[in-house]
Structure 1
Amino acid sequence: MIEGTETPYRPSARRLAREAYRRRRARRSALIAGVSTAATALVLWLVIVSSPGWERTRETFFNAHYARQALPEVLKGLRVNLELMVVCGALILVFGLLLALLRTLRGPVFLPVRLLATAYVDFFLGLPMIICLLIMITGVPALRLTGVTTDPLVLGGAALVLTYSAYVSEVFRAGIQSVHPSQRAAARSLGLSNAQAMRYVVLPQAVRRVVPPLLNNLVSLQKDTGLVSIGGVIDAVYAAKIITSQSFNYTPYLVSALVFIALTIPMTRFTDWTTARMNRRQHQGGAV
Structure 2
Amino acid sequence: MTTRLEPAVQPVRAARPAPAGHANAVLVAALLLSMLTIGIAAWAAWLTIEVAEAGPWRIVLGAATIGVVVLAVLTLVPVARGFRERGRCLRAFAADDVVVGRAARYRATHAGWLAMGYCLPVLVIAVFTLFLLANDHAVQSTFFDTAFMAQSLGDILVAFWQNVQIAVLAEAFVLVWGLVIALARLLPGDAGRPIRWLATVYVDTFRAIPSIIVIYLVGFGLPLAQVPFFSDLSPLWAAVLALTLTYGAYVAEVYRSGIDGVHWSQVAASRSLGLSYGKTMRFVVVPQAVRRVTPPLLNDFIGLQKDTALVTVIGTVDAFTQAKIYSSNYFNLSSVTVVAILFIIITIPQTRFVDRLLERDARKQRAKG
Band the TM-score falls in, shorter-chain normalisation: 0.7 to 0.9
Superposed CA RMSD in Å reads 2.2
Partner Cα separation in structure 1 for residue 138 and residue 259 of structure 2: 54
Map 1:1-288 → 2, pairs under 5 A:
33-46=117-130, 48-49=131-132, 51=134, 53=135, 55-148=137-230, 149-285=232-368
SS in 2 for 1:108: coil
Q: Which has the higher contact order (CA 8 A, sep 6+)?
A: 1
> What is the Cα deviation at residue 45 of structure 1?
2.7
234 and 203 in structure 1: CA distance in 2 versus 1, 3 angstrom threshold: same
Deviations 1:31-51 (A, max 9, x none): 7644432233223433x1464
| SS of equivalent to 1:109 | coil
Distance 1:146 1:210 in 2: 36
**Structure 2 SS opposite 1:238:** helix
1:109-133: per-residue Cα shift (whole Å, max 9, x none)?
1111111111111110111111111
Tell me how far 1:178 sits from its aligned partner: 1.1
TM-score by length of 1: 0.84
| C-alpha separation in 2, matches of 1:228 and 1:237 | 9
Structure 2 length as normaliser, TM-score?
0.67
Q: CA deviation at 1:136?
A: 0.7
The 3-state SS of whatever aligns with 1:191 is coil
Separation in structure 2 between the aligned mates of residue 43 and residue 251 of structure 1, nearest angstrom = 20
Give the structure with higher Rg (CA).
2
Instruction: For residues 221-275 of structure 1, give each alpha carbon's deviation from its aligned partner in whole angstroms, at most 9, with x where no partner exists.
Output: 1111111111111111111111112111111011111111111111101111111
Q: Which has the higher mean CA deviation after the structures are superposed, 226-235 or 55-64?
A: 55-64
Measure how far apart 1:54 and its partner are. 5.2
Deviations 1:187-212 (A, max 9, x none): 11222222222122211211111111
**Hey, what's the Cα distance between the residues in 1 that align with 2:292 and 2:233?**
39
Name the % identity: 42
Give the distance between the partners of 1:54 and 1:188, measured in 2 at CA.
73
Distance 1:220 1:266 in 2: 14
**Structure 1: where are the runs of 5+ without partners?**
1-23
Distance 2:320 2:114 in 1: 38
What is the CA–CA distance in structure 2 between the aligned matches of 1:36 and 1:147, rounded to whole Å? 57
Q: Distance in 2 between matches of 1:173 and 1:56?
A: 50
Does the C-alpha gap of structure 1 residues 146 and 187 become closer, same or farther in structure 2, counting only changes over 3 Å? closer
Rate the CA distance shift 1:59–1:132 in 2: closer, same or farther, 3 A. Answer: same
